[in-house]
Amino acid sequence: EADIYQTPRYLVIGTGKKITLECSQTMGHDKMYWYQQDPGMELHLIHYSYGVNSTEKGDLSSESTVSRIRTEHFPLTLESARPSHTSQYLCASSDHRLKEKLFFGSGTQLSVL
């Protein structure tokens, strides 16, 4: 089992609200990632980090932001949620000793009404 945790598991909010999805890992991995996944579709990278104070945008345009102040913590924030943000958000970290094998959290299912 991977030691990477996401909260909340499920979130239903109204349009315009600010939300933060939490992700923490206790494996000491430098690299962390946020993916977005819609049902039956492939994962799309929205943000990644190579270490503390490092953040990069991924392939999928996103209105979210991330921060990496501590190695173990990589939260994702939506300043103003919209129905188009409804999706599953998966956090992951990787181990360079294992060919960057990804360890995923259980995900946050976000519904914006």
Residues near other proteins (CB under 8 A) = 2, 40-45, 48, 56, 58-59, 90, 92, 98-107, 109
Please identify, using beta-carbon distances, which residue of 82 and 101 lies nearer to other proteins: 101
How far is Cα 21 from Cα 32, in angstroms, rounded to an integer?
14
Beta carbon of residue 71, minimum distance to other proteins (angstroms, whole number): 18
Beta carbon of residue 45, minimum distance to other proteins (angstroms, whole number): 5
Side chain identity, residue 24: S
Please identify, using beta-carbon distances, which residue of 65 and 88 lies nearer to other proteins: 88
Cβ atoms within 10 Å, residue 91: 27
Of 106, 66, 111, nearest to 90 by C-alpha is 106
